Amino acid sequence: MAGRAHYIGPAVLALLAGAAVPVAAPAQPAQQPLAVEFVEVSQQPLVLDLRLVGTIAASDSIDLSFPAGGRITEITVRAGDRVRAGDPLARTDGVQQQQALNQALAAVAAAEAMLQQADQAAIRAAEMLRRGVGTRAESDMAGQALSAAQGQLASARTGADQAQRAVDDTVVHAPRTAMVTARMAEPGQVVGAAQPILTLAALTGFEAVFNVPDAPHLDQALGAPVSLVPLDRPQATLSATVTEIAPLVDPATAAVTVRATIDPTAIGEVLDGGLLGAAVEGVVHLKAGTGIDIPWTALTATGEGPAVWRIDDAGAVHVTPVEIERFTTGGVVLKSGVAPGDIVVGEGSQLMYPGRHVRPGKGR
């Protein structure tokens, strides 16, 4: 039986022709290298910042008290007042001491009069003996009376000096130019001998005092520079140097006392700014050898851990695993993974993928 002929229309022929001839895809433009920050890896000195919190105190402080007990009648200063050497600061009731001084001065006057009389008697007795109208015994007796009068006068003067010191001890004077940091008594209060009533801070120098937990690297801080920032005045900064580290842990605070002497040129700033006694944050800058320090913007991560984007000679990036030793302010210290001379991507690392080409610049 003869096969049936099928008619193929022009539209079908055109469709088949189109399917048989491949159509070329439009050309894609070449990707331009991305501008990123180039960071050259280098071995450089490292600094470990140890942060402490403490207070500013005077290097020398003085506790003032009365040598003898008594009732306080006046205290002329308060905490924060500046005093000069010799200024009277406090008094006790000195009526009894003044009466004792008056009696001692009267005794001195009487002893002086007796000495004058004994001296005149001794002169007369000696003259009479020279003329032959007196006796040796009378002259010797007059000499003994003179010596006794001299002794009585010396004793009276000693008593007057003691009475004067007792009167002086009823007034506490500032031993040097200083600032009052504490007042522990009030007028009308009865205090004992040597009981502190005022604390003065000498204006010869200041220091920052820290109580910190014991740590192995703390011994390295001796002699290290310290940057001080008052907690309530972050715009004010001071420089200091660690001058003392307590050898033992204080059992009362379970901490080690660290003292840093403030630069002497900042004494006026501490006084005028009212920073004495202020809480401060201290950053101790410890030398930590050398190492590789890169900016934190260069750090990325893979499923296996931290990494960086290393740039090859052709300008293409490759992910490189790294080992972190520690983090610093604004940076990362690497233990391994890259070597000095390598170039890694800094700012712009978040836009990287393997093989991407980059050029020096600032990434966004």
Task: Say if residue 181 is in the same domain as residue 282.
Answer: no
| Residue 335 located in a structural domain | yes
pLDDT band, very low/low/confident/very high, at 275 (cuts 50, 70, 90): confident
| Residue 7 located in a structural domain | no
Does residue 20 or residue 176 have the better pLDDT?
Answer: 176
Task: Say if residue 350 is in the same domain as residue 211.
Answer: yes
Residue where a domain stops, chosen among 145, 168, 191: 168
Report CA 88 to chain centroid distance, whole Å: 31
Query: How large a percentage of the chain has pLDDT more than 70?
Result: 90
Per-residue pLDDT, 266: 85
Does residue 44 or residue 216 have the better pLDDT?
Answer: 44
Range of the domain at 181: 61-92+170-201
| pLDDT tops 50 at residue 1 | no
Q: Looking at residue 308, which CATH number applies to its domain?
A: 2.40.30.170
Per-residue pLDDT, 273: 78
Per-residue pLDDT, 30: 57
Per-residue pLDDT, 358: 93
Task: Say if residue 82 is in the same domain as residue 115.
Answer: no
Task: Say if residue 231 is in the same domain as residue 189.
Answer: no
pLDDT band, very low/low/confident/very high, at 27 (cuts 50, 70, 90): very low
pLDDT band, very low/low/confident/very high, at 293 (cuts 50, 70, 90): confident
Task: Say if residue 330 is in the same domain as residue 353.
Answer: yes
Q: Looking at residue 87, which CATH number applies to its domain?
A: 2.40.50.100
| pLDDT tops 60 at residue 15 | no
Q: In whole numbers, what is the pLDDT of the chain averaged over residues?
A: 85
Task: Say if residue 228 is in the same domain as residue 359.
Answer: yes
| pLDDT tops 90 at residue 361 | no
Segment 101-116 shows an average pLDDT of 94
Q: What is the count of structural domains for the chain? A: 3
| pLDDT tops 70 at residue 5 | no
| Residue 12 located in a structural domain | no
Task: Say if residue 55 is in the same domain as residue 126.
Answer: no
| Residue 266 located in a structural domain | yes
Task: Say if residue 112 is in the same domain as residue 147.
Answer: yes
> What tens digit of pLDDT does each residue of 149-171 get?
999 999 999 999 999 999 999 99
> What tens digit of pLDDT does each residue of 334-354 get?
888 998 999 999 998 888 999
Identify which of 7-16, 36-45, 89-98 has the greatest average pLDDT: 89-98
Query: How large a percentage of the chain has pLDDT more than 90?
Result: 48
Task: Say if residue 273 is in the same domain as residue 211.
Answer: yes
| Residue 253 located in a structural domain | yes
| Residue 255 located in a structural domain | yes
Task: Say if residue 349 is in the same domain as residue 291.
Answer: yes
> What tens digit of pLDDT does each residue of 223-270 get?
888 999 998 888 888 999 999 999 888 888 888 999 999 998 888 888
> What tens digit of pLDDT does each residue of 116-149 get?
999 999 999 888 888 888 888 888 898 899 999 9
Residue where a domain stops, chosen among 148, 168, 188: 168
| pLDDT tops 50 at residue 45 | yes
Does residue 168 or residue 325 have the better pLDDT?
Answer: 168
Task: Say if residue 144 is in the same domain as residue 197.
Answer: no
Segment 183-206 shows an average pLDDT of 91
Per-residue pLDDT, 50: 80
| Residue 13 located in a structural domain | no
Task: Say if residue 296 is in the same domain as residue 318.
Answer: yes
Residue where a domain stops, chosen among 152, 180, 201: 201
| pLDDT tops 70 at residue 26 | no
Per-residue pLDDT, 23: 44
pLDDT band, very low/low/confident/very high, at 3 (cuts 50, 70, 90): very low
| Residue 8 located in a structural domain | no
